[in-house]
Structure 1
Amino acid sequence: MGYVTSLFARKMVAAAGDGIDASTLLAVVGIDPDGPWAPKAMIPAAAYYDMLERIARQIDATDLPVRVGATMRLDEYGALGLAFKAATTLGASYARVERYARLWTSVVEYELRPDPRGTIFILHRPGERRLGMRLSNEATLASAISIARQVSPVPVAPLEVLIRHPAPASIKAHEDWFGCPVRFGSDLDAILFSRETLAQPNILGDVGISSFLVSHLDKELSEIADEAPLVTDTKDAIAQALSEGAPKMADIARGLGLSARSFHRRLSEHGMSFQTLTEETRRELAEGLLCDEGHSLAEIAFLTGFAEQSSFTRAFKRWVGMTPASYRKGRGRL
């Protein structure tokens, strides 16, 4: 099952305006309407498409993807957004998207392909081309132009935009936004840029900062290659909460922008339970802290969410088959 960031769903609902029941739509896809906007919280792509189709039944969604694309801001994309800004040229910025988009979605891949007229930035999204997917593709292409205009010192307008599905009744909003012909019914979902446009230096391009951010993104990418983003984010949230005691599932779900029910279901889809992840996080954190002689056993017990050192000792022995003191000694720390 593919996933997309919950940021996209929140943006779509916000742009749809008063003609929809925003809270209900978000809750249906497992997002807590009153929770924080947590871009790393992922939702199933199929549920996202369902939500877009619900919106389209309630309002005229012809220009909704364009309006959503126009609201996207690089600051909302975390390290990937910063890396896009710091790249030296617009072409280098799009190369970052091509490589690191997996941090935001597991259902879309991007490709930069040479063309006699310049370079084509292609969106690849497999699956049934249902209405929800079509609206999502249009919004993604609109977003790609929005973020380009945020880094370029000159106006950015592609040579043309290609969209595979048939055109809506009016494409005026699309052509006004992109500033070029928009050709529906094409063979690709893509944006064609001139060589000059992609060679344009970015406003905040910086080689040193760019290298640092790329290293960070490489690390993130290697981590999600083995673990689902939701699992990684859950373990991070648990680790941060442990000093206050064993965290509650509802609190962690809320912090990730999900309802408790959706959070439980999503973890189950990955073969995980909240209790299992809590135990894993405690064990991994304890093992790491025991390698640092600067922490006493009592401090480690506290940092891993135990009220008493004796409880921590019993749990650790259950996890690894030896006491914390023996583990530390075996690691050569005492």
Structure 2
Amino acid sequence: MPIRFVHCRAQVKLPGMGYVTSLFARKMVAAAGSGVDASMLLAEAGIDPDGPWEPKVMIPAATYYDMLERIAAQIDVTALPVRTGASMRLDEYGALGLAFKAATTLGASYARVERYARLWTSVVEYELRPDPRGTLFILHRPGDRRLGMRLSNEATLASALAIARQVCPVPVAPLEVRVQHPAPERVDAHEDWFGCPLQFDADLDALLFSPETLEQPNILGDEGISSYLVSHLDVELSQIAGDTPLVSQTKDAIAQSLSEGAPKMTEIARRLGLSARSFHRRLSEHGMSFQTLTEDTRRDLAEGLLRDERHSLAEIAFLTGFSEQSAFTRAFKRWAGTTPASYRKLRRQP
């Protein structure tokens, strides 16, 4: 019986089902080499082996994990995630790749990933989190840590470093790599690629970067181009996400409570007449998290207020839920790759 190709694009995702870009599947199969039947693996995953490498063509995450486990049954996959991650190129990510390049610093580039990752996956969220030694770039992927997911997580961390090395003018290595699952039998390929200590059986899947590394200016960083590309990405994000009534109501509730400080999920859920558990589940069905919505609302509100000259930076910091203007400035620079004052100045220009 011939295999029927079914392409699931981001715009037609089904509620409750996670998707990843077919680009990742193609990269994994290519990195597996001659030890596997590439055409059959892709076809079984619903991907046309002879079709274009289009990041917006999506496949279910479970299908992707199944494919990785079939590869593992045929070849040694110990180093496969590292080879796959190292092969990723920013030019393959479309507008997101361009925005990553155009961000003014490496930290701002990673902030693009944190905000716009949903353009290529609905099963992973990224977070930049302060750490005593610097900043953690965290990969959040819920679900059973089956072999396919473990291989995917390792490849994702490796690719996050690969794209950083493509924009930074100096060699980039994290201070540490943290992986939640147990170590494979050999980690020499991982150590060679990351160039830093690896901690398996950790509490997070993350790369830890020093402040100096994330403050490095990007080779092609440009505030004007970056702002234009971010606007383009916002349009793409709105097309795949769409503000459902629940999402819109949540954003409104968050915005109304920000002047009292950072809102808590339990408080917002109560305002909407939902239990915290039900609220979390319903947001997850739309590929959203409370943290993401809070960040998006804060950023959207900040950008709107900055376009109004009547508000001082201190007032905007207060209205967006920050206790200090310095904290607001750091957060905004992470979101937009520039300071609030520079953003306001740029908006004054014709």
Does the TM-score normalized on the shorter chain lie above 0.5?
Answer: yes
**Residue in 1 aligned with 2:140?**
124
What is the total number of aligned residue pairs between the two structures? 229
**Residue in 2 aligned with 1:224?**
240
Residue 140 in structure 1 maps to residue 156 in structure 2? yes
Residue 188 in structure 1 maps to residue 207 in structure 2? no
**Residue in 2 aligned with 1:31?**
47
Residue 57 in structure 1 maps to residue 73 in structure 2? yes
TM-score, reference length from structure 1? 0.68
Structure 1 residues 245-295: Cα deviation after superposition (integer angstroms, max 9, x where no partner): xxxxxxxxxxxxxxxxxxxxxxxxxxxxxxxxxxxxxxxxxxxxxxxxxxx
Q: Determine which of 166, 178, 182 is the counterpart of 2:194.
A: 178
**Residue in 2 aligned with 1:81?**
97
Tell me the distance in 2 between the aligned counterparts of 1:185 and 1:129. 12
Return the offset for 1:35: 1.3
Kindly, what percent of the aligned residue pairs are identical?
A: 83
**Residue in 2 aligned with 1:45?**
61
Residue 96 in structure 1 maps to residue 112 in structure 2? yes
Amino acid at match of 2:216: Q
Amino acid at match of 1:203: I
Instruction: Please state whether the residue corresponding to 2:166 is helix, strand or coil.
Output: helix
Amino acid at match of 1:115: D
Return the offset for 1:37: 1.3
Amino acid at match of 1:99: R
Tell me the distance in 2 between the aligned counterparts of 1:24 and 1:215. 39
Amino acid at match of 1:9: A
Tell me the distance in 2 between the aligned counterparts of 1:191 and 1:8. 20
Tell me the distance in 1 between the aligned counterparts of 2:214 and 2:145. 30
**Residue in 2 aligned with 1:69?**
85
**Cα root mean square deviation, aligned:** 1.4
Structure 1 residues 49-76: Cα deviation after superposition (integer angstroms, max 9, x where no partner): 0000000010000000000001000000
**Residue in 1 aligned with 2:166?**
150
Amino acid at match of 2:158: A
Structure 1 residues 82-110: Cα deviation after superposition (integer angstroms, max 9, x where no partner): 00000000000000000000001000000
Return the offset for 1:39: 1.2
Amino acid at match of 2:231: S
Structure 1 residues 199-248: Cα deviation after superposition (integer angstroms, max 9, x where no partner): 00000000000000000011111111129xxxxxxxxxxxxxxxxxxxxx
Tell me the distance in 1 between the aligned counterparts of 2:49 and 2:166. 28
Structure 1 residues 169-190: Cα deviation after superposition (integer angstroms, max 9, x where no partner): 0111001100001111000000
**Residue in 1 aligned with 2:38?**
22
Structure 1 residues 134-178: Cα deviation after superposition (integer angstroms, max 9, x where no partner): 000000000000000000000000000000000000111001100
**Residue in 2 aligned with 1:329?**
none
Amino acid at match of 1:52: L
Tell me the distance in 2 between the aligned counterparts of 1:102 and 1:159. 27
**Residue in 2 aligned with 1:267?**
none
Residue 10 in structure 1 maps to residue 26 in structure 2? yes
Amino acid at match of 1:167: A
- 5 Å matches for 1:305-324? none
TM-score, reference length from structure 2? 0.65
**Residue in 1 aligned with 2:246?**
none
- 5 Å matches for 1:156-171? 156-171=172-187
Instruction: Give ranges in structure 2 of 5+ residues lacking alignment.
Output: 1-16, 244-350
Tell me the distance in 1 between the aligned counterparts of 2:70 and 2:139. 24
Instruction: Please state whether the residue corresponding to 2:149 is helix, strand or coil.
Output: helix
Tell me the distance in 1 between the aligned counterparts of 2:38 and 2:218. 37
| Larger displacement relative to structure 2 (35-44 or 201-210) | 35-44
Tell me the distance in 1 between the aligned counterparts of 2:163 and 2:184. 24
Instruction: Please state whether the residue corresponding to 1:52 is helix, strand or coil.
Output: helix
Amino acid at match of 1:24: M
Amino acid at match of 1:206: D
Amino acid at match of 1:41: V
Residue 203 in structure 1 maps to residue 211 in structure 2? no
Return the offset for 1:38: 1.3
Tell me the distance in 2 between the aligned counterparts of 1:40 and 1:47. 16
Instruction: Please state whether the residue corresponding to 1:34 is helix, strand or coil.
Output: coil
Instruction: Please state whether the residue corresponding to 2:212 is helix, strand or coil.
Output: helix
Amino acid at match of 1:198: L
Tell me the distance in 2 between the aligned counterparts of 1:19 and 1:134. 21
Instruction: Please state whether the residue corresponding to 2:49 is helix, strand or coil.
Output: coil
